[in-house]
Structure 1
Amino acid sequence: MSEFQTYKKDLTRSRLVETDKAQALADLKTGDILVEIERFAFTANNVTYGAAGDTIGYWKFFPATDNESGEWGCLPVWGFAEVTASKVDGLAVGERLYGYFPPADFLAMSPIKVSPLRFMDGAPHRAELPAVYNNYLLMSGEAHYDASTDNVRSLLNPLHVTSFCLCDALQSERYHGASQVVILSASSKTAIGLAQGLADEESRPKIIGVTSSPNRDFVASLGCYDEIICYDKLRDIDTSKATVMVDMAGNRAVLGALHEALGDNLQNCISVGMTHWETLADNDPLAAKINRQRSSFFFAPAHVQKRVGDWGQDGFNQQAGDFMKARMQQSAGWMTVETVADFEAFAEVYADVVVGKMNPNEGLIVLPK
């Protein structure tokens, strides 16, 4: 069996490590289960997990095997798995799960708070990590579950939870008084979900998508942006207007240029993703132009917890679920799903995805076996 690992200091580097499923089965204790991972999505979101791995703790969820140096890690992924061994009442062999997994063939888990709908992984090393990532949904308890949507769900749900939270946060703050929302990396799936959600609101600011020239026609075809501007024409942004910027990329040179041009008209710059992880250590002089006082990092799990407190778990699930259902339906018009059959095939395309070479209208699903 295999585990796909990433070199923490250079996210383009990867390796496959053999794992021992027989030993994992032998080590199962009362209260544990073993699941086989069926499929998982790999997107720019996973690159962000690597870029923020040490800061937020993403490397800690699934400690890498045979990693005495500590230089390798498992990038968490979202997908589906099946219970193949169980020592937990209420979780039968054959039960299917949706949630957070390592890029591997299997995972040993210690479920707690088991209900007909969900459970949490109570593994001790995960106790101090954000709780939203420790929740797993049981497909047997989901009304109207449709297995044909597994791939799209793996790809979009984790991203569109963030899109929903961003929409909600912007709306609750009345868009910080801005008359335009500038979304960087407008072709990213999280950005698309955000723009589609904002476009549904009648009393919202102008939505401007910033993207690369090769992606312009694709972004225009989505119909959710009021205006599209390419990175080589940033000067076309009307800097005289009060502006909120939502950054999905973390490119310091682009941020510095826009912060300088907008000046006091920048109401807030919300950083979400870090897909341009390679620029994080750059000494580009434009990085010095970033206004740190008007910048904030958006951590979706914290917003989820806040709204669960405000609305209750069922209330949050209802509102977020309605949002994501609408986005999933819209994705049928623009997204194609590409599958790779095993880890060897994944290794061949992995580095290209990390550096952003995948087409924005494609989604990658990995089938470990």
Structure 2
Amino acid sequence: MQRVLVDQADITKTQLQEVPSEVLTDGQARMKIQRFALTANNVTYAATGFVIGYWHFFPSGIEGQGIVPVWGFAEVVESASDALAVGERLYGFWPMADELVIAPQDMGHKVVLDTTEHRQKLPVVYNRYTRRAPKSAQNEGYQSLLQPLLATSYLLSDWLQDNEFFGAEQVIVGSASSKTGLGLCKFLSELSVRPVKVVGLTSDANAAFVATQSGADSVVTYNNIETLEKVPSVYVDMSGNAEVKEKLHAHLDQELRHSSAVGTSHWDQFRPKQELKGPKPQFFFAPSQIEKRRADWGPGEIERQITAGWKRLAEDASTWLDLKEYNGLEAVADVYGALATGKSQPRDGHVVTL
């Protein structure tokens, strides 16, 4: 099998490695990974691999080298399990590789859980796979790209509403050109009753894109942070850019009611310890909001709402997203490298087919 290793000390560096396939044992199934997306989200997985634990999902067994998780589709090519038959397709969380051996457990409602021992200690939302009928490559490309990102966008919107926007009058979405940031702006702009203004914070280069596509009430660029209104605010940070965060905290100070850290797409400008004015940033962990809503509403409801939400935004995805398709793991180095170094364009949606 082939897999892509990422240098944990310098996450811009990758190498393609060939290793023997794992021998199947009773209760396991071999999944041939066929299609997955590459986004800034995967850069965040690498940048927070030790802090949050993303390196633990698919351990490489090599010191200093990790495997970044991706979202996409795979097909059962060999099975020693009653839970999965050869030819079935699953959507979910995979390694940046061409195959994975899982220990599937049928959970009903088209859900399969990987019960591999080391994954049992990890958040269950990442270990759940959904059975999928064969669909078109384009539909699978959009789902691979948008479902995980817009699911996070939806959960952020729900979390803000759940907390009554922390008493703020404006929500500032950092790195609003990212697909998760764009999705949050779009979900907030949909609300029929919205007590806050939505401000898209982005670079000069992406300001026109955000203004046209996000639905935000206004757009502010990083070098104009001082123009933000000094009113009670919430900052939702997708980039982890330490300089931007410091400037925004200094400008709003006590008017900042909450500061949320979601992603680290600007990982190279991230500083884990900062002395900031205003509230201390809190990390937003999407699985925690899912579990809260499961307790509030019962099993299945938050998943139903997330699915309806991301599909609704995806209906017009072709107007704000250009699907870029690549063949083979050999293409990963350039695509992932562009994302990790901030050279990818916000309209581009990258999908790798194996």
1:284-295 residue pairs with structure 2 within 5 A? Answer: 287-291=274-278, 293-295=279-281
Residues 267/281 of structure 1: CA separation in 2 closer, same or farther (3 Å cut)? closer
Instruction: Give the partner amino acid of 1:31.
Output: G
User: Partner of 2:255 in structure 1?
Assistant: 265
- Counterparts of 1:108 and 1:217 in 2: how far apart (Å)? 45
Q: C-alpha displacement at 1:116, in angstroms? A: 5.6
User: Partner of 1:137 in structure 2?
Assistant: 130
- Counterparts of 1:133 and 1:197 in 2: how far apart (Å)? 23
User: Partner of 2:311 in structure 1?
Assistant: 325
Deviations, residues 232-255 of structure 1 (Å, cap 9, x unaligned): 11111112x111111001111111
- Counterparts of 2:271 and 2:64 in 1: how far apart (Å)? 18
- Counterparts of 1:344 and 1:34 in 2: how far apart (Å)? 22
Q: C-alpha displacement at 1:85, in angstroms? A: 0.3
Contact preservation (8 Å) 2:3, 2:97: yes
User: Partner of 2:198 in structure 1?
Assistant: 207
- Counterparts of 1:139 and 1:223 in 2: how far apart (Å)? 30
User: Partner of 1:228 in structure 2?
Assistant: 219
Q: Which runs of 5+ in 2 are unaligned?
A: none
Instruction: Give the partner amino acid of 2:333.
Output: A
Contact preservation (8 Å) 1:90, 1:114: no
- Counterparts of 2:29 and 2:335 in 1: how far apart (Å)? 32
Question: CA RMSD for the aligned pairs?
Answer: 1.7
Instruction: Give the partner amino acid of 2:275.
Output: A
* 1:173 is the counterpart of 2:173: no
TM-score (normalised: structure 2): 0.96
Instruction: Give the partner amino acid of 2:55.
Output: W
Instruction: Give the partner amino acid of 2:193.
Output: S
Q: Secondary structure of 1:77's match?
A: strand
* 1:61 is the counterpart of 2:57: yes
Instruction: Give the partner amino acid of 2:66.
Output: G
User: Partner of 2:325 in structure 1?
Assistant: 339
- Counterparts of 2:335 and 2:183 in 1: how far apart (Å)? 25
User: Partner of 1:349 in structure 2?
Assistant: 335
1:41-190 residue pairs with structure 2 within 5 A? Answer: 41-64=37-60, 67=62, 70-115=63-108, 117-140=110-133, 148-190=138-180
* 1:191 is the counterpart of 2:177: no
- Counterparts of 2:271 and 2:188 in 1: how far apart (Å)? 33
Instruction: Give the partner amino acid of 1:61.
Output: F
Deviations, residues 280-326 of structure 1 (Å, cap 9, x unaligned): 3489xxx42344x4421100011111112222222122211111111
- Counterparts of 1:116 and 1:280 in 2: how far apart (Å)? 41
Instruction: Give the partner amino acid of 2:64.
Output: E
Instruction: Give the partner amino acid of 1:64.
Output: S
Instruction: Give the partner amino acid of 1:18.
Output: E
Deviations, residues 148-185 of structure 1 (Å, cap 9, x unaligned): 41101100111111111110110111111111111110
Contact preservation (8 Å) 2:91, 2:132: yes
User: Partner of 1:38 in structure 2?
Assistant: 34
Contact preservation (8 Å) 1:266, 1:294: no
Q: C-alpha displacement at 1:257, in angstroms? A: 0.8
- Counterparts of 2:83 and 2:259 in 1: how far apart (Å)? 46
Instruction: Point out the structure with the larger helix share.
Output: 1
Q: C-alpha displacement at 1:52, in angstroms? A: 1.1
Contact preservation (8 Å) 2:185, 2:214: no
Q: Which runs of 5+ in 1 are unaligned?
A: none
Count of aligned positions? 353
- Counterparts of 1:359 and 1:62 in 2: how far apart (Å)? 28
Q: Secondary structure of 1:126's match?
A: helix
- Counterparts of 1:171 and 1:350 in 2: how far apart (Å)? 34
Moved more, 208-217 or 112-121: 112-121
Instruction: Give the partner amino acid of 2:323.
Output: V
User: Partner of 1:254 in structure 2?
Assistant: 244
Q: Secondary structure of 1:47's match?
A: helix
Instruction: Give the partner amino acid of 1:344.
Output: E
Q: Secondary structure of 2:206's match?
A: helix
TM-score (normalised: structure 1): 0.92
Q: Secondary structure of 2:226's match?
A: helix
